[in-house]
Amino acid sequence: MFIAAAVVFVILLDSAHVFSAWRAVRSDAKQAASQEALRTLLDTKDPQAAHQAAASYLRANGDTMTALTISDQPLTGPLVTVTATREAKTYVFKYGQHLPLVGKWIKRLLRAHATRDSSAD
pLDDT in tens, 63-96: 999 999 999 988 888 999 999 999 999 988 999 8
Instruction: Mention every residue, 6+ apart, whose C-beta is less than 8 A from residue 117.
Output: 33, 34, 79, 80, 81, 82
Q: What pLDDT is stored for residue 121 in this prediction? A: 65
Q: What pLDDT is stored for residue 59 in this prediction? A: 97
Distance from C-alpha of 52 to C-alpha of 36, rounded to nearest angstrom = 9
Distance from C-alpha of 19 to C-alpha of 45, rounded to nearest angstrom = 36
Predicted TM-score (pTM) of this structure? 0.86
Q: What pLDDT is stored for residue 32 in this prediction? A: 95
Ranges in the chain, pLDDT < 70: 121
